[in-house]
């Protein structure tokens, strides 16, 4: 049996079952809202920067994962579709997952994480959603390509790296005129979900090119688009929170933040406590950032997690309903094609609040 035939059989089997995480009598519908199927193999590296990028990724993986979940660097550079499906669905509890690929064409011959992801999503439509990407520095040619890509991939979202290199350019801002042209095109094409890497720098990319201030501009000017700030702006969490509390179409993706639940649980308590205080429970999305981290241990630890008692004077305890929203139901509000089985919804739908619970914007 070929690998494709085997994958098709696995996909057909999964279509007949509901995969959900259960703990202490509570059932959780899980949407992993940000993950990858990448190829950072030596053969695909265009230059030394491709090696630097994946080695920086690997440092995050190695230093923040439980020991039993750490891969070798060689496996980490290029893993199999079978490994992905096992880690995300069979072992990782996900009911649905969303590819948010990065191109990084200046570093990788065939791009970092696009071609196989689309193929997998086509074969597993009930399990996988494929987002694409664009680079506003491609001008008019790129705008035409975005139209073609939207039709080809049935796009509901895109993933952007504002620090990505492009020839002599080492980044752009979403407030740039060409970026606005692309956001206008997204609005026209019905691509509503704009995922933006706004987190820790990744060598050799520049830290300041990931600054979150441009989100403030475009969220105001494009109220019909949703801006999902991946990695919640770390290490600029405070800046992100002050922006997001004012802009009701700004969401926080927990990739990179949530792994601190293992190595720095009190730091994680501060992160999630600040997010819940400022933007509320309806605009926070669980993401594993696979294969940086595996969702199994992240989900298990998050469901079991509680704000330490000595911090509860400043941060409220996290409720089970809040965890259900964060782990999946909030993502469904952005991607309504994802169907939640009967009995797994909350009594009230997880939709974006019109105002934040924080002191700014509240009444």
Q: pLDDT tens digits for the chain (363 residues)? A: 454 554 554 454 444 455 679 999 999 999 999 999 999 999 999 999 999 999 999 999 999 999 999 999 999 999 999 999 999 999 999 999 999 999 999 999 999 987 789 999 999 999 999 999 999 999 999 999 999 999 999 999 999 999 999 999 999 999 999 999 999 999 999 999 999 999 998 999 999 999 999 999 999 999 999 999 999 999 999 999 999 999 999 999 999 999 999 999 999 999 999 999 999 999 999 999 999 999 999 999 999 999 999 999 999 999 999 999 999 999 999 999 999 998 888 766 444 444 455 655 443
Please state the three-class secondary structure of the chain as a single string.
CCHHHHHHHHHHHHHCCCCCEEECCEEECCEEEEECCCECCHHHECCHHHHHHHHHHHHHHHHHCCHHHCCCHHHHHECCHHHHHHHHHHCCCCCEEEECCCCCCCCECCCCCCHHHHHHHHHCCCCEEECECCCHHHHHHHHHHHHHHHHHHCCCEEEECCCCCECCECCCCCCCHHHHHHHHHHHHHCCCEEEEECCCCCCCCCHHHHCCHHHHHHHHHCCCCEEEEEHHHCCCHHHHHHHHCCCCCEEEECCCCCCHHHHCHHHHHHHHHHHHHHCCHHHEECCCCCCCCCHHHHHHHHHHCCCCHHHCCCCCCCCHHHHHHHHHHHHHHHCCCCCCCCCCCCCCCCCCCCCCCCCCCCC
pTM of the model: 0.91
CATH number given to 28-334 = 3.20.20.140
């Amino acid at each position: 049996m070929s690998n494709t035939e085997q994958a098709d059989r696995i996909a057909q089997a999964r279509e007949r079952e509901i995969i959900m995480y259960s703990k202490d009598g509570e059932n959780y519908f899980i949407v992993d809202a940000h993950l990858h199927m990448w190829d950072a193999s030596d053969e695909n590296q265009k230059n030394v920067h491709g090696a630097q990028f994946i080695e920086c990724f690997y440092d995050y993986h190695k230093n923040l994962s439980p020991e039993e979940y750490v891969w070798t660097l060689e496996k980490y550079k290029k893993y199999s579709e079978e490994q992905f499906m096992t880690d995300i669905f069979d072992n990782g509890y996900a009911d649905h997952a969303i590819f948010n690929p990065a191109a990084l064409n200046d570093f990788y011959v065939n791009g970092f994480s696009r071609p196989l992801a689309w193929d997998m999503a086509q074969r597993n439509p009930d399990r996988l959603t494929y987002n694409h990407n664009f680079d506003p520095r491609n001008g008019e040619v790129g705008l035409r390509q975005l139209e073609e890509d939207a039709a080809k991939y049935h796009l509901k979202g895109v993933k952007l790296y504002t620090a990505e290199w492009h020839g002599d350019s080492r980044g752009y801002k979403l407030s740039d005129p060409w970026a606005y042209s692309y956001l206008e095109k997204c609005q026209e094409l019905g691509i509503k979900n704009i995922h933006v890497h706004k987190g820790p720098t990744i060598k050799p990319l520049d830290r300041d090119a990931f600054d979150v201030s441009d989100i403030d501009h475009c969220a105001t000017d494009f109220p019909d688009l949703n801006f999902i700030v991946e990695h919640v702006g770390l290490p600029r969490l405070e800046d992100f929170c002050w922006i997001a509390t004012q802009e009701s179409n700004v969401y926080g993706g927990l990739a990179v933040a949530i792994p601190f639940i293992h190595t720095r649980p009190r730091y994680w308590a501060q992160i999630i406590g600040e997010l819940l205080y400022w933007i509320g429970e309806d605009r926070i999305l669980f993401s594993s950032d696979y294969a940086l981290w595996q969702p199994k241990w992240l989900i298990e630890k998050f469901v079991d997690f509680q704000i330490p008692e000595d911090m509860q004077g400043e941060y409220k305890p996290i409720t089970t309903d809040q965890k259900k929203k964060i782990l999946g139901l909030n993502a469904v509000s952005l991607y309504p094609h994802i169907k939640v089985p009967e009995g797994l919804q909350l009594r009230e739908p997880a939709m974006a609040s019109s105002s934040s619970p924080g002191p700014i914007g509240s009444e």
